[in-house]
Amino acid sequence: MNSPSRSGVFQAGADERMEAYGESISFDRRLYRHDIQGSIAHAEMLASVGLLSEAEARLISDTLREIEKELDSDSLPIRFELEDIHMHVEQALIDRIGDTGRKLHTARSRNDQVSTDIRMWIRDALDDIDQKLKALQLAFLNRCDQDLDVILPAYTHLQRAQPVLAAHYWLAYVEKFARDRERIADCLKRVNSSSLGVAAVAGTTLPINRELTAQKLRFDEVTRNSLDTSSDRDFMMETAFVLSVVASHLSGWAEEWILWSTVEFNFIKLPETFCTGSSIMPQKVNPDALELTRGKSARVMGNLQTLMLLVKNLPMAYNRDLQEDKPPLFDSFDTIFAMLDIATPIVAGSELQRDSISSRLEEGYLDATTLMEWMIKKGMPQRRAHHLVGAMVGEAMNRKVALKDLPLETFQSHAPEMDATIYDCLGTENAVAAFVSYGSTAPTQVAAQIKDWKAKLTS
Contact positions vs ligand ARG (CB under 6 A): 24, 28, 83-84, 110-111, 114, 318, 320, 322-323
In this complex, which beta carbon is closest to ligand ARG, that of residue 275 or of residue 308? 308
Q: Closest Cα partner for 148 from 135, 172, 164?
A: 164
Backbone angles phi, psi at 418, to 5 degrees: -75, 145
Q: Cβ contacts of residue 187 below 8 Å, gap of 6+?
A: 126, 235, 238, 239, 242
Q: Closest Cα partner for 14 from 29, 26, 30, 3?
A: 3
Dmax (CA) for the chain in angstroms is 101
Q: DSSP H helical segments within 98-223, as ranges? A: 99-102, 110-146, 166-191, 210-216
Alpha carbon distance 224, 195 (integer Å): 9
In this complex, which beta carbon is closest to ligand ARG, that of residue 323 or of residue 370? 323
Beta bridge partners of 352: 268
In this complex, which beta carbon is closest to ligand ARG, that of residue 112 or of residue 238? 112
Angle, CA of 65, 70 and 71, to the nearest 5°? 95
> Closest distance between ligand ARG and the C-beta of residue 327, in Å?
10
In this complex, which beta carbon is closest to ligand ARG, that of residue 24 or of residue 344? 24
In this complex, which beta carbon is closest to ligand ARG, that of residue 19 or of residue 291? 19
Q: Closest Cα partner for 248 from 201, 216, 296?
A: 296
184 contacts 122 by C-beta, under 8 angstroms: no
Alpha carbon distance 171, 129 (integer Å): 20
Q: Cβ contacts of residue 433 below 8 Å, gap of 6+?
A: 442, 443
- Please report, in angstroms and rounded to a whole number, the separation of the first and last CA atoms in the chain: 57
Say which DSSP state 151 is in.
E
227 contacts 317 by C-beta, under 8 angstroms: yes
Kindly name the residue from 7, 73, 75, 157 that is annotated as catalytic. Answer: 157
State which amino acid sits at residue 215. Q
In this complex, which beta carbon is closest to ligand ARG, that of residue 244 or of residue 323? 323
Q: DSSP H helical segments within 261-367, as ranges? A: 288-312, 326-349, 354-359
> Closest distance between ligand ARG and the C-beta of residue 28, in Å?
6
Active site residue 48: no
CB atoms within 10 A of CB 15: 9
Q: Closest Cα partner for 329 from 129, 83, 161?
A: 129
> Closest distance between ligand ARG and the C-beta of residue 317, in Å?
10
Kindly name the residue from 26, 53, 278, 359 that is annotated as catalytic. Answer: 278
In this complex, which beta carbon is closest to ligand ARG, that of residue 78 or of residue 391? 78
> Closest distance between ligand ARG and the C-beta of residue 236, in Å?
12
> Closest distance between ligand ARG and the C-beta of residue 15, in Å?
16
Active site residue 157: yes
94, 96, 100, 105 alpha-carbon torsion, rounded to 10°: -30
Beta bridge partners of 156: 159
> Closest distance between ligand ARG and the C-beta of residue 86, in Å?
6
State which amino acid sits at residue 455. A
In this complex, which beta carbon is closest to ligand ARG, that of residue 92 or of residue 418? 92
The residue length of the chain stands at 459
Alpha carbon distance 100, 7 (integer Å): 19
CB atoms within 10 A of CB 165: 25
In this complex, which beta carbon is closest to ligand ARG, that of residue 110 or of residue 249? 110
> Closest distance between ligand ARG and the C-beta of residue 99, in Å?
23
1 contacts 91 by C-beta, under 8 angstroms: no
> Closest distance between ligand ARG and the C-beta of residue 205, in Å?
18
> Closest distance between ligand ARG and the C-beta of residue 12, in Å?
18
Mind telling me the catalytic residues? 157, 278
